[in-house]
Structure 1
Amino acid sequence: MNIQKLNVFISLVETRKMTDTAKLLGLSTPTVSFHIKSLEEDYGIKLFRTNAGGYRLTDAGEMLYHYAKQLSQTNQALEKSVADYKNGEKGALKLGASGVPAQLFMPELIHQLAESYPKVKVSLDVKTAPDIERRLLLQELDCGLIMETGNKEQDLIYEPVTSDKIVLAFSKEHSFNGKNILEENDLYNQTLLVHRLSSSTGRFSQSWLQEKKLRMEMIQLDSVSTIIKMLSYGKAVALISKRLIENETHLSYIEFQNQDLERQIHFVYHCNLWMSGPFQYFKELVTNLRES
């Protein structure tokens, strides 16, 4: 199996243009063409049909692309692991987290990991849950803590850690302070702060507004900490994690009696991931978090 041929093939599938593939891989156009023809000869199948829109896959090409992508990702993970060990005893652990778990759990978990494995290079990528899932599928990250998205990728393993609830939060200076129940008309003309709509909380906020048929001005923010800061001014409300704000003394909140507001936080990793010592230790830390 020639990984270089497969990588050329994958690139041509995704760019659909021979010249773009050549530029991307630092090859000449004839070299790209040679690799594709060689791959077709190896398997005895035609991989592409060409038209004005560029290179498009045949049915056989679709099948090969499916498996070639998996082989390429596995090879990248292998090369990364070998490189980590060739660099000495350091190794690396690439973590991902969506906004809420990143703030709630990652600082303590990374601290404990660093205490036990001081030579391991640890990195944390904080993105929306779908972004973390995508990077885990590509094996660009080793594992992650994410809020449930409603979808589960077939090649990822999801282990429940704990639950969280979305509440309506506001400043203690806000007119809602002291109320236990809100009528729907109380929410009209309020400004709702929401995490970016691509996040799980952001998508929920949007669907919640549509379900309640509420017209509220929305301000999208990339940072949960910025939302908490803006709430303190007393001019807005936010649908946000209860865990994040229940210890904020300047804020108050109302819980809605709705089971849909309960969400799971999952520990996620690829089913083909090789579990190094640091990874297994981190997994134990997460398990302890779940049990506590």
Structure 2
Amino acid sequence: MADRRLQVFHAVAKHGSFTRAAEHLFMTQPAVTFQIKQLEEQYNTRLLDRGHGKISLTPAGELVYAYAERILGLSEELESRVAELTDELSGVLNIGTSTTIAAYWLPPLLNSFKRRYPRVIPRVAVGNSQLTEDRVAARELDIGLIEIVTDQPAIERRSAARDELLVICQPGHALSRASELKAQDLLEHPFITRDPGNAIRELAEEFFEAAGISTSELNITAELGSLATVKHLAAEGMGYAIASSAAIRRDVREGRLAGIPLEPRLYTPLEVITPRDKFRSRLITTFADHACEEFARMAQGGTGIE
């Protein structure tokens, strides 16, 4: 186990804030301040400059931060290697996931994984795909489950499966009578879109752009971060939206929404990402393999997605 003071200092330097470091470490801010003070007393020098509301590293702080990165990395590797000798996976796994995956793909995935490895504790952070990708690249998360094809050099990616995107609307909506919908068919209707950084928003914009339609021509009636709210407003007749078929399967079956394929067909990828060059424990590798297998299985038959 690495020195707790080094862990706290590393978190403060990385997040640039005592408050954010305290939240990340589940500590109080005074406790974080005390740990930093102790470390500075040990080295008899100031490690952080705290001027004008910003935190920056002193030259000594830069040196300590570089060594802290190496020490904490080795400590993590040591703990994982020793744990693997027991032949039973255990420990905390920090998972980042997009909102759609979190709601419709993750529950059966975690359920099947926990049945195999009950001592593993998944710690899940939900955000849009871009935010999740950035946090994995920054090594704040062990693994990410996202819906964009990443080309970030700091990321290693595995394409697990794909899910079709459909137009969703109220069953009585004019669009609901179509067997498929082209971009031009949608232009005159109010469009409920997603928040910036959301993978499905990016794919929808690419779909329209491929048809020669700019986003400025779309009749956008709302821009929302919550998929549940998007579905609710579409079901109430406020407009149409574009959503993953996994996310609407139950709503269509129970008559709350209509789902219509796009022409040409549009799919969202399901990607499993990990930080490049980071020591990868057997726990991370095993979960990544399991996620790829389960995503492929669920995408083929819809099994387990409700």
Same fold (TM over 0.5): yes
Given candidates 225, 228, 231, the residue that maps to 2:231 is: 228
Cα distance in 2 for partners of 1:5, 1:175 equals 61
Write the letter of the residue equivalent to 2:121: K
Matched residues, number:
276
1:213-240 deviation digits (Å, cap 9, x = unpaired): 4241332333223322332223310022
Cα distance in 2 for partners of 1:148, 1:52 equals 38
Q: Which residue of 2 aligns with 1:241?
A: 244
Q: Which residue of 1 aligns with 2:95?
A: 95
Q: Alignment partner of 2:160: what SS?
A: strand
1:158-186 deviation digits (Å, cap 9, x = unpaired): 11001234332212210112223457375
Cα distance in 2 for partners of 1:270, 1:8 equals 22
Q: Which residue of 2 aligns with 1:145?
A: 145
Write the letter of the residue equivalent to 2:173: H
Write the letter of the residue equivalent to 1:196: D
Q: Does structure 2 conserve the Cα–Cα contact (< 8 Å) formed by 1:93 and 1:123?
A: yes
C-alpha displacement of 1:266: 0.7
Q: Which residue of 1 aligns with 2:25?
A: none
Write the letter of the residue equivalent to 2:161: T
Cα distance in 1 for partners of 2:197, 2:16 equals 25
C-alpha displacement of 1:192: 1.9
Write the letter of the residue equivalent to 2:290: L
Cα distance in 2 for partners of 1:51, 1:32 equals 19
Write the letter of the residue equivalent to 2:234: L
Task: State the identity as a percent.
Answer: 14
Q: Does structure 1 conserve the Cα–Cα contact (< 8 Å) formed by 2:128 and 2:197?
A: yes
Cα distance in 2 for partners of 1:123, 1:13 equals 20
TM-score (norm: length of structure 2) = 0.66
Q: Which residue of 1 aligns with 2:275?
A: 270
Q: Which residue of 1 aligns with 2:291?
A: 286
C-alpha displacement of 1:147: 0.7
Cα distance in 1 for partners of 2:183, 2:156 equals 41
C-alpha displacement of 1:97: 1.3
Q: Does structure 2 conserve the Cα–Cα contact (< 8 Å) formed by 1:167 and 1:240?
A: yes
Q: Does structure 2 conserve the Cα–Cα contact (< 8 Å) formed by 1:195 and 1:201?
A: yes
With over 3 angstroms needed to count, the CA separation of the structure-2 counterparts of 1:102 and 1:72, relative to structure 1, is farther
With over 3 angstroms needed to count, the CA separation of the structure-2 counterparts of 1:75 and 1:137, relative to structure 1, is farther
Is residue 260 of structure 2 the alignment partner of residue 256 of structure 1?
A: no
C-alpha displacement of 1:69: 7.7
Q: Which residue of 2 aligns with 1:164?
A: 163
1:12-42 deviation digits (Å, cap 9, x = unpaired): 687599xxxx978415998787788869xxx
Q: Which residues of 2 match residues 111-260 of structure 1 at below 5 A?
A: 111-148=111-148, 150-154=150-154, 156-179=155-178, 180-182=180-182, 184=184, 187-188=187-188, 190-205=189-204, 208=208, 211=214, 213-246=216-249, 248-249=252-253, 250=255, 251-257=258-264
In our comparison, the structure showing a higher alpha carbon Rg is 1
Cα distance in 1 for partners of 2:94, 2:17 equals 31
Cα distance in 2 for partners of 1:28, 1:284 equals 39
1:227-269 deviation digits (Å, cap 9, x = unpaired): 22332223310022234335623312140327xx433211112
Write the letter of the residue equivalent to 1:187: L
Cα distance in 1 for partners of 2:151, 2:229 equals 28
C-alpha displacement of 1:74: 2.5
TM-score (norm: length of structure 1) = 0.68
Q: Alignment partner of 1:194: what SS?
A: strand
In structure 2, stretches of 5+ residues that fail to align are 19-28, 301-306
Write the letter of the residue equivalent to 1:120: V
With over 3 angstroms needed to count, the CA separation of the structure-2 counterparts of 1:265 and 1:65, relative to structure 1, is farther
Q: Kindly report the root-mean-square deviation, in angstroms, between the aligned alpha carbons of the 2 structures.
A: 4.6
Cα distance in 2 for partners of 1:145, 1:192 equals 27
